[in-house]
Amino acid sequence: MTRTNWSRFSKLALALVVLLSAFAGQAGAVSVASDDVPDEAQVGTQVTASVTLEELYRSPQLESWTLAGETDLEDVTWTVAYYDQTGARVDQQSFDGQNFSGAEIATADGTSEVEVTVTGIVPEVESFSYDPAQTFTIISLDQTREGGSSNDIDSWTVHHYTEDSAAARDELDSARDAIQRASGANTQQAQQTFNNAVEAYNGEEFNLATNLANEAETSANQARQSSQTTQLLIYAAGGLLVVALIVGGFLYWRSQQTSYDKLG
């Protein structure tokens, strides 16, 4: 085998090993059958999120394990419901606090699916961000096996907001859309004002952010209108030029015809 062919073979073998390793890692993982998690929530309100897990024993050696969870919600209550293969609920546990552990999942109990529900109060925003929007972890689940090793099952985050931050975000969204609609026009001033509005939002100056966003939107709309007006004037001038050329050509043709008649 030549060095070139050997190199190609080595690369293919390495890629195969990586692919098989990834597949093997997925084969032993718990699957998320469904989730019911809000996209966003207002600070200080009570929300509920639920996740259903299935394919709990994909590894032949894993006949039992422990489920653990955590959340950034406050005043938290967890409910873990166990279902058999027929879909009947066979057991249920409740936990309090931002973290829980000790929910035993075992084939001997006939558990086929597990539904985890968390209810709590949406926490305060530690740091505001327009893009990406500020989020908090509403639910995170882990699989803990005998011996102390654990795997992350999955984690869900939610955008949280205050009344003032939501109003400012709406204005920023509107200004951003206006700038995008004005694509092709001179929106440099509008974009700079929008950037200042974003900085104000990130600094929790929501009234200032709202005002600047309104200015940016107005500037973008004016730039768009000005661009459209300019285009119309260009089209009109072009049309007049075409008409002038046609009229001029016609008059020239008439003059030539008149001259020909006189000669005749």
**How does pLDDT run across 112-158, given as a tens digit for each residue?**
999 999 999 999 999 999 999 999 999 999 998 876 678 899 999 99
**What contacts 232, CB < 8 A, 6 or more positions away?**
none
Residues 250, 157 within the same domain: no
Number of Cβ within 10 Å of residue 133's Cβ equals: 15
The average confidence (pLDDT) of the chain is 83
Q: Is residue 195 part of a domain?
A: yes
Residues 53 and 154 in one domain: yes
What is the per-residue burial (b if ≥16 Cβ within 10 Å, else e) of 68-87?
Answer: bbbbbbeebebebbbbeeee
For helices 163-181 and 188-202, the axis angle rounded to 10 degrees is 160
The mean per-residue pLDDT over the stretch 10-15 comes to: 43
Q: Does residue 134 sit in the same domain as residue 202?
A: no
At 89, is the secondary structure helix, strand, or coil? Answer: strand
pLDDT attached to residue 234:
56
Say yes or no: 36 and 157 in one domain. yes
Please state the rounded mean pLDDT for residues 7-27: 40
pLDDT reported for residue 51: 98
Taking the CB of residue 199, how many other CB atoms lie within 10 A of it? 14
Q: Is residue 183 part of a domain?
A: yes
Q: Does any domain span residue 169?
A: yes
Residue 264 domain-assigned (yes or no): no
What CATH number does the domain containing 111 carry?
A: 2.60.40.10
pLDDT in the model for residue 161: 98
pTM recorded for the entire structure? 0.74
On whether both 48 and 153 belong to a single domain, the answer is yes
Q: What is the pLDDT of residues 48-100, one digit of tens each?
A: 999 999 999 986 457 899 999 999 999 999 999 999 999 999 999 999 999 99
Separation between Cα atoms, residue 238 and residue 234, nearest integer Å: 6
What's the average model confidence in pLDDT over 212-227? 88
- Looking at residue 28, what DSSP letter applies? T
Non-local CB neighbours of 56 within 8 Å, separated by 6+ positions: 30, 65, 105, 111, 112, 113, 114
Residues 37 and 146 in one domain: yes
Q: Tell me which residue range forms the domain holding 115.
A: 31-161
Which residues does 166 contact at the CB level (< 8 Å), separation at least 6? 42
Number of domains in the chain: 2
| DSSP 8-state code for residue 174 | H
Q: Where does a domain end: 118, 139, 161? A: 161
**Do residue 205 and residue 114 come from a single domain?**
no
Q: Domain check: are 154 and 192 in the same one?
A: no
Quote the pLDDT of residue 225: 84
Pair of tokens at residue 97: 């606090």
From residue 88, give the alpha-carbon distance in Å to each of 63, 75, 83, 220.
20, 29, 5, 58
